[in-house]
């Protein structure tokens, strides 16, 4: 699989001590990233938005866990992909964040939310597929 980007995923994680949801960052060094502009008609005119497509090759999934395994794992030792997780195109040098607004305040590049995902681990090019929006 052709790769063209560094991606940082932010997994939702319940912080039981602070009693709030935090997002834990995990850098993916080799991923395929593409963004396209989608336009849809609405009652008030046309609405356009960015559609992000990310593919993470299987060889980048060494610490990946299913959602259930991630929920019971030790904080910061593994990662997963869930709808509602956050992502940026590039490397994140900070720590955990509390949501997309917090992330947008601290990062000036592409920031998005995972809208759908699938684990495609069979075939000639196994990968995790992520679709997202801003």
User: Does 75 score more than 90 pLDDT?
Assistant: no
d(CA 7, CA 31): 7
**Start-end of H helices in the chain:** 67-72, 100-106
More reliable by pLDDT, 64 or 74: 64
pLDDT of residue 47: 87
Q: Average pLDDT of 46-56? A: 92
pLDDT of residue 28: 96
Q: Average pLDDT of 42-55? A: 90
pLDDT of residue 134: 78
This prediction's pTM: 0.90
């Amino acid at each position: 699989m052709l790769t063209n980007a560094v991606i940082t995923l932010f997994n939702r994680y319940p912080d039981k001590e602070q009693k709030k949801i935090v997002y834990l960052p995990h850098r993916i060094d080799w991923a395929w990233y593409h963004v396209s502009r989608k336009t849809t008609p609405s009652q008030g005119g046309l609405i356009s938005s960015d559609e992000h497509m990310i593919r993470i090759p299987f060889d980048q999934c060494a610490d990946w866990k299913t959602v259930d395994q991630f929920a019971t794992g030790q904080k910061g030792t593994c990662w997963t992909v869930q709808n509602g997780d956050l992502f940026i195109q590039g490397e994140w040098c900070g720590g955990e964040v509390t949501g997309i607004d917090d992330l947008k305040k601290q990062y000036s590049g592409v920031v998005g939310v995972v809208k759908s995902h699938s684990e495609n681990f069979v075939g000639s090019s196994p990968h995790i597929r992520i679709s997202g929006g801003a």
